[in-house]
């Protein structure tokens, strides 16, 4: 996703002199090409994230569209108040980019696990929050964020779902994508873990469970309608996020349904419940360890359905 | 910087007239500040009184701004990084014609846009909302860097408190600005030697303060932050050194102009009420 983001941004920067990329001294070899091609639209500000958001706001208030690049929590939590007061409150065109959503940097430890960023960023007023699920979404989101007024957060993942776009499909920030149709249950996923949700949906077919899979690439503004439709048209909702279950996608779906007076027959949040992810390992390993890999998702869905719906428990009993 | 060079060489008579005008503006800002903090039940009046002369000279004689066209792209930018002294900026903006002076009566009132800590929403002329310390200089550095990229002549003035030089983010921006040779950036420190709970020297010593800025690559001017002549002369001759950002360490007195508020920690947070309010206003009026 990271490389696709930089590639897309380079394409855009060529024809749009407003585009500016700042890094807080991260992106070894990733940003070299961009830096060489656009020296007047690039700056390494040093290891100083608070200053970076301030600088970005200053440049943005005078007409630039500034992408700030760092990894994990450095992009967001380290400079949270600058994002809130300087960028968001002034509707500055600052696009905060974090490479390494969730367990992307799994072996590096909890300092590098970005597992609260979505809930914290979505709490900020006048903020757009996007976590693409595959490479196409990454490119499209990058392009659209340039045109989205105000401060935005782009969470990029090391993992990515296989290409999900249909020929001629149009991507819109704020509109969830139905990447698979099914009536028994909806799997709503955000970020690269969409791939695990799709894999789980594949394996559930063998058990006679047809999943609708939504790519909820935009957390804010939230596609309330897609969730309500999923509630009405499918048996229930399971949310999947490589992120704490506190305040992220799962919470959003619950809030949305309750407020709309719509009750899904099944509901479960798959995400990090363990507090700090103090174990280390690859992204795949940690997903398994914390119950959010494809097998865990499939298992959770099957249990949920068989517990609540006699139709499926009968079928499984055969 | 032809403009400032020319200003520095103005005839003495014109400079005296200028000084009288900014001194008058400073008095008005002080009176507004006491009234506004009284009406709004807010405080930080001591912080406004200490910076009133700096603000008056900037708005009254130094900055290239136009109240009829407050968003003109090449205007000079002013950032009040010590956002708790918002009353002083609202007063300066109203006195300069950015909005009606009557608005000041609504400072901190229910439903007002004039918050105690300076806010831009709905207030013409405010460049940046602040209130949390250590935010102003990074944004100012970004504006100055942008002006350099655009090859534009606009300058960025950031007014800081001494207390907010405790914040690491301030020093991140100090390093950045020197590294990138932002000589269009001027940081003015309202060095009144008192922070929220006590004297700066006892809380977290800043001295040798000027040496710190110099060691970080800035050009430093130390002056009396209440002397309009000194302020005007020095701020007319910017940048002090080509290729370096300028730090003006303005030695000031917290609560300046009201005898019982001067050098007092109490008047960082206290709201002027009753007889104290009357007395404060009397002192500021009889000063004429």
DSSP secondary structure code for residue A162 in this structure: P
Give the C-alpha separation, A180 to A188, whole Å. Answer: 11
Our CA-based measurement puts residue B90 at a distance from the nearest CA of chain A, in whole angstroms, of 18
- pTM of the full predicted structure? 0.95
Q: Which of B75, B88, B92, B101 is nearest to B42 (CA)?
A: B88
Q: Is B205 within 8 Å of chain A by CB?
A: no
Cross-chain Cβ contact B139/A45 below 8 Å: no
Instruction: Measure B63 CA to nearest chain A CA, in Å.
Output: 18
CB within 8 A of A79, min separation 6: which ones? A49, A50, A52, A53
Say if CB A49 and CB B168 are below 8 A apart: no
CB A96, CB A153: distance < 8 Å: yes
B216 touches chain A (CB under 8 A): no
User: What SS3 state is found at B140?
Assistant: helix
H-run or E-run covering B250: strand B246-251
- Considering only CA atoms, which of B21, B247, B68, B238 is closest in space to residue B141? B247
For residue B211, what pLDDT is reported? 98
Q: Where are the beta strands (DSSP E) in B22-100?
A: 77-80
pLDDT confidence of residue A111 = 95
H/E stretch holding B28: helix B12-40
Given a cut of 70, the residues of chain A with pLDDT beneath it are 309-318
Which residues have a Cβ under 8 Å from the Cβ of A255 and sit 6 or more positions away? Answer: none
Length of chain A as a residue count: 318
Task: Kindly state the DSSP code that residue A165 receives in the 8-state scheme.
Answer: P
Active-site entry in A11, A49, A81, A242: A49
Residue B84 contacts residue B10 (beta carbons within 8 Å) = no
Q: Are A26 and A20 in contact (CB under 8 A)?
A: no
From chain A, the residues in CB contact with B145 under 8 A are 43, 55, 58-59
Listed as own residue / partner, the contacts of B4-11 with beta carbons closer than 8 Å and 24 or more positions apart are: B4/B236, B4/B237, B4/B238, B5/B237, B7/B62, B7/B236, B8/B233, B8/B236, B8/B237, B10/B236
Give yes or no for a contact between B29 and B48, defined as CB atoms under 8 angstroms apart: yes
pLDDT tens, per residue, chain B with 288 residues: 345 455 555 567 777 777 899 999 999 999 999 999 998 877 899 999 999 999 999 999 999 999 999 999 999 999 999 999 999 999 999 999 999 999 999 999 999 999 999 999 999 999 999 999 999 999 999 999 999 999 999 999 999 999 999 999 999 999 999 999 999 999 999 999 999 999 999 999 999 999 999 999 999 999 999 999 999 999 999 999 999 999 999 999 999 999 999 999 988 888 999 999 999 999 998 755
Q: What is the C-alpha to C-alpha distance for residues B209 and B221, in angstroms, rounded to an integer?
A: 12
For B270, residues 6+ apart whose C-beta sits below 8 A from its C-beta are: B43, B45
Cα Rg, chain B, nearest whole Å? 18
pLDDT of res. A318: 37
**How confident is the prediction for chain A on average, in pLDDT?**
95
pLDDT score of B11: 62
* Residues in B touching A59 (Cβ below 8 Å): 142-143, 145-146, 149
Degrees, nearest 5: CA angle A5-A11-A15: 135
pLDDT of residue A307: 84
A51, A52, A62 ranked by CB distance to B143: nearest: A62
Of A43, A50, A63, the CB nearest to B172: A50
Question: Is A242 among the residues known to form the active site?
Answer: no
- What residues of B are in contact with residue A40 (Cβ under 8 Å)? 149
| Tokens encoding B259 | 């005898």
Give the max Cα distance, chain B.
Answer: 54
Residues 6+ apart with CB under 8 A from B177: B137, B141, B144, B185, B187, B218, B245
Is B277 in the A-facing interface, judged by CB distances under 8 Å? no
Contact A85/B176, CB-based, under 8 Å? no
Tokens at residue B279, please? 């007395």
Angle, CA of B94, B99 and B101, to the nearest 5°: 50
Which of B136, B211, B21 shows the shortest CA–CA distance to A50? B136
Which helix (DSSP H) or strand (DSSP E) does residue A145 occupy? helix A135-147
The nearest alpha carbon in chain A to B140 belongs to A58
Angle, nearest 10°, between helix axes A194-205 and A294-308? Answer: 50
State whether residue B146 sits within 8 Å of chain A by CB. yes
* Contact (CB<8Å) B139/A50: no
B217 touches chain A (CB under 8 A): no
Q: Assign residue A275 a region (left: φ > 0; alpha: ψ between -120 and 50; beta: otherwise).
A: left
Contact A51 B172 (CB under 8 A): yes
pLDDT at A311: 59
A91 CB within 8 Å of a chain B CB: no
C-alpha angle A233-A237-A242 in degrees, rounded to nearest 5? 140
Question: φ, ψ for residue A42 (rounded to 5)?
Answer: -145, 145
Q: Are B136 and B174 in contact (CB under 8 A)?
A: no
Q: Are A118 and A249 in contact (CB under 8 A)?
A: yes
Residue of B nearest to A51 (CA): B138
What pLDDT shows up at residue A317? Answer: 39
Q: How many angstroms separate the CA of residue A12 from the nearest CA in chain B?
A: 19
A95 touches chain B (CB under 8 A): no
Whether residue A187 contacts residue A213, with contact meaning beta carbons closer than 8 Å, is answered with yes
* Contact status of B140 with chain A (Cβ, < 8 Å): yes
CB contact (8 A) between residue A59 and residue B142: yes
């Amino acid at each position: 996703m990271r490389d696709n983001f930089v590639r897309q941004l380079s394409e855009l920067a060529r024809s749009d002199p407003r585009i500016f990329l700042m890094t807080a001294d991260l992106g070894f070899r990733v940003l070299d090409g961009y830096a060489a091609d656009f020296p007047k639209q690039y700056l390494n500000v040093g290891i100083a994230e608070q200053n970076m958001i301030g600088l970005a706001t200053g440049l943005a208030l005078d007409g630039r569209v500034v992408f700030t690049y760092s990894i994990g929590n450095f992009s967001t939590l380290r400079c949270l108040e600058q994002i809130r007061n300087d960028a968001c409150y002034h509707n500055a065109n600052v696009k905060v980019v974090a490479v390494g959503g969730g367990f992307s940097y799994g072996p590096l430890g909890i300092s590098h696990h970005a597992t609260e960023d979505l809930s914290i960023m979505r709490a900020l007023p006048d903020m757009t929050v996007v976590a693409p699920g595959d490479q196409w979404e990454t490119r499209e989101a990058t392009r659209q964020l340039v045109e989205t007024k105000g401060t935005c957060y782009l969470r990029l993942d090391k993992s990515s779902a296989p290409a999900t776009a249909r020929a001629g499909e149009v991507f819109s920030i704020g509109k969830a994508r139905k990447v698979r149709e099914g009536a028994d249950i909806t799997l709503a996923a955000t970020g690269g873990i969409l791939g695990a949700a799709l894999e789980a949906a594949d394996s559930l077919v063998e058990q006679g469970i047809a999943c609708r899979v939504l790519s909820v690439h935009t957390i804010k503004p939230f596609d309330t309608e897609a969730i309500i439709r999923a509630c009405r048209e499918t048996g229930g909702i399971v949310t999947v996020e490589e992120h704490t279950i506190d305040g992220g996608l799962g919470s959003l779906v619950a809030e949305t349904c309750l407020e709309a007076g719509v009750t899904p027959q099944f509901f479960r949040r798959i995400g990090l419940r363990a507090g700090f992810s103090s174990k280390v390992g690859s992204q795949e390993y940690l997903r398994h360890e914390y119950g959010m890999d494809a097998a865990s998702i499939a298992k959770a869905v099957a249990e949920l359905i068989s517990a609540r719906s006699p139709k499926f428990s009968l079928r499984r009993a055969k | 910087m032809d403009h400032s060079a020319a200003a520095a060489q103005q005839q003495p008579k014109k400079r005296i007239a200028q000084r009288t005008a900014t001194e008058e503006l400073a008095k008005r800002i002080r009176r507004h500040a006491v009234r506004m903090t009284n009406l709004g039940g807010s405080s930080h009046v001591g912080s406004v009184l200490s910076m009133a002369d700096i603000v008056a000279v900037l708005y009254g004689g130094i900055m290239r701004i136009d109240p009829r066209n407050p968003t003109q792209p090449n205007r000079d930018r002013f950032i009040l990084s010590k956002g708790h002294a918002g009353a002083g900026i609202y007063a300066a903006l109203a006195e300069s014609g950015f909005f009606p002076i009557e608005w000041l009566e609504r400072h901190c009132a229910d439903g007002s846009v004039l918050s105690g800590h300076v806010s831009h929403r709905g207030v013409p002329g405010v460049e940046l909302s602040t209130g949390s310390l250590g935010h102003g200089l990074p944004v100012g550095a970004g504006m100055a860097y942008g002006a350099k990229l655009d090859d534009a002549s606009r300058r960025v003035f950031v007014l800081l408190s001494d207390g907010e030089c405790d914040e690491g983010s301030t020093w991140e921006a100090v390093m950045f600005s020197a590294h990138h040779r932002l000589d269009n950036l001027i940081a003015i420190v309202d060095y009144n030697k008192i922070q929220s709970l006590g004297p700066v020297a006892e809380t977290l010593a800043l001295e040798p303060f000027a040496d710190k800025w110099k060691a970080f690559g800035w050009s430093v001017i130390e002056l009396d932050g209440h002397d309009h002549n000194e302020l005007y002369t020095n701020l007319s001759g910017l940048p002090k050194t080509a290729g370096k950002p300028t730090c003006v360490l303005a030695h000031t007195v917290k609560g300046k102009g009201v005898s019982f508020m001067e050098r007092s920690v109490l008047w960082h947070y206290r709201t002027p009420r009753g007889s104290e309010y009357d007395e404060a206003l009397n002192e500021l009026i009889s000063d004429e």
